[in-house]
Chains A and B, each alone.
Chain A
Amino acid sequence: MSFDKNTNPLKLHHLVGDMEADYIYTPGVAGDKFFKALRDDEKFLATHCESCNHTYMPPRMYCERCFSKLDKWVEAESTGVVDTYSLAHEDRDGEKLAEPVIVAFIRIDKTDGGIIHQLGGVDHESVKIGMKVKAVLKDKSKRTGGLNDIDHFAPA
């Protein structure tokens, strides 16, 4: 199209360099407890700051508001409300997905935070901000102790 210009450097004289960068990431004390409770007991654990009356989901070992250490754990719900959503048409490399994915930020009940995940069992056109949803977990044998132990969120 006439509005576009060449942004593909591979069409031009160049040398190729590859920056290999592989890492492991540690979920930490809070993340470890959260993911194990989700995997083994199907529970959503959160941490609570009493001085700020603020409940962290995902849980954290410290309060970003008052900078105190948090050690009070509370059980949250596996339900929540769609705060906002988007229909993603491309994969993480910017290539077109065969099937678009509905991504949502879900405010988890009994917390002040939430989880970003995909919605299932619902058409994009039927999703509404404020819609009640519930976590659908993977079969126990397929869980790995990560956020993908939640398969998706579905209308509650």
Chain B
Amino acid sequence: MKEVLFMTVAVVGVGYTDFRSTTPDVSFKEQMFEAAAKAYQDAGVHPRKDIGSFITGAEDYWEGYSIFDEFVPDQLGATLRPVCTISGDGLQALLTGAMQVKTGLMDVVAVESHSAASDLLSFHGIVSHGLDPVYNRNMNVNPFFVAGLEMRKYLSETKASREQCARVVTKNKLNAMDNPLAAYPAVMSIEEVMKSEMVSNPLTRRDISPLADGAIVMVLASEKKAKELSENPIWLKGMSWISETPWLESRDWSDATYARLSSEKAFKMADITNPQKQLDLVEVDDWFSYKELQHLEAIGVCEKGQAGKLLEQGQFDRDGDTPVNVSGGRLGAGNLLEASSLQSVLECVIQLRGHAGKRQIKGAHTAAAQSWRGVPTATGSMLVLSNEK
């Protein structure tokens, strides 16, 4: 029993589509099939005989299907097998898959998450529906006002500048230039971000990550199976996820407490005592520009109020001390809704395998992927990965 619980689970296969602003030529099911087929080939497994369980991270409202669970088995090769959908992001689905492997009941588990955002005609309405109907839906404003409120508080508390937030956008879009999967690479000026139209002051259009379509599948395996299947398994060293109160009125507003607590737990599991020194790269959630700075401080890469300055000094650039969102993040690779957290994990896996090409972080050994579920949630996860067990 103990042996099972304390074994290390590994990622042994990844598959993905590229990320695009629209996908008029393929359905979401065809995207999932493409990602799954590539992941199974990468792992050297066949879904009809080798995979014990299949998990998708998805929300009915994003998908436009009631009981979305019913719409996933066929394109994953999962009919007549254990299948479930986690009503959460892709990283929560992955952590659930890791726990299933740790039960010892299955050696190999497939995890999927995707975005068909371009199929969604009422994006703002669906986000508004996430607000408390009795206390928070009374105002007829873009639900991203919650991010506007939080950004103002963050800037006020930390003395970070508006320009520093804009620099997050330019950095991540520039990073995306070397990620062939990315939907929104650009050489963008800070001025372009600053002068873009105001959505919920101080939040502008370019501070908000643009939506994209795409699918990602990962194959997880037990320690024993991973060594059989793979020459370069990427080990899941530490993981945790936290939900704060859903009440906006009970929140602290200045801290990303979910990110702080989930990373403390995951880092303890992974023996990370100094994240700035021990992590070779970090992918953090950047749904909104300021969120990257807030998350870096919350997970302890730097002190509160320092992220903006360190960003300006180039510490978070690809060639800096702690490269952040080398993939481009949501801002550059595209906002894949629930799948963006798996995009973060994907970047870590590609980097730790040494397969990142032009954007490869030399000697990358340990990486972290942090997620946030977006407005109006205060839910987030942390995963530490390493290419050494």
Contacts and interface: CB of A to CB of B under 8 A. Distances in A.
A21 B297 CA distance: 40
B133 interface: yes
A73 interface: no
A91 B188 CA distance: 28
A122 interface: no
Interface in A112-156: 112-118, 124, 129, 146-148
A85, A94, A104: which has the most chain B beta carbons within 10 Å? Answer: A94
B201 to A, nearest CB: 4
B22 A12 contact: yes
B22, B66, B141: which has the most chain A beta carbons within 10 Å? Answer: B141
Contacts of A115: 135, 249
Given A84-B153, A87-B200, A13 B141 contact: no
B124, B135, B253: which has the most chain A beta carbons within 10 Å? Answer: B135
B154 to A, nearest CB: 9
Given A7-B118, A7-B211, A27 B134 contact: yes
Nearest to A5: B21
Contacts of B245: 64
A72 interface: no
B42 to A, nearest CB: 29
Contacts of B313: none
B149 A103 contact: yes
Contacts of A16: 121
B142 A92 contact: yes
A93 B124 contact: yes
Contact of A129 (B128, B140, B153): B153
A128 to B, nearest CB: 10
A12 B100 CA distance: 41
Given A7-B211, A9-B121, A58-B249, A86 B64 contact: no
B128 A113 contact: no
Task: Assign chain A's interface to a size class.
Answer: 35 or more
Interface in B50-97: 64, 66
A84 to B, nearest CB: 4
A96 to B, nearest CB: 9
Interface string A21-38: 001010100010000000
A83 B152 CA distance: 10
Interface residues of B, number: 51
B333 to A, nearest CB: 14
A104 B201 CA distance: 12
B150 A84 contact: yes
B336 to A, nearest CB: 13
A105 B149 CA distance: 8
B142 A84 contact: no
A3 interface: yes
Nearest to A102: B201
Given A3-B188, A88-B141, A94-B124, A116 B135 contact: yes
B136 interface: yes
B66, B124, B142, B247: which has the most chain A beta carbons within 10 Å? Answer: B142
B139 interface: yes
A84 B140 CA distance: 19
A140 to B, nearest CB: 18
A90 B199 contact: yes
Interface in B234-264: 245, 247-250, 253
B363 interface: no
17 contacts: A6-B21, A7-B211, A9-B22, A31-B134, A64-B247, A86-B201, A87-B198, A87-B200, A91-B142, A92-B140, A94-B142, A100-B201, A103-B139, A105-B253, A115-B135, A115-B249, A146-B134
Interface of B: 21-22, 24, 64, 66, 118-119, 121-125, 128, 133-136, 138-143, 145, 148-153, 156, 183-184, 186, 188, 192, 197-203, 210-211, 245, 247-250, 253
7 nearest CB pairs, A to B? A86-B148, A88-B141, A87-B201, A90-B142, A84-B153, A12-B24, A5-B21
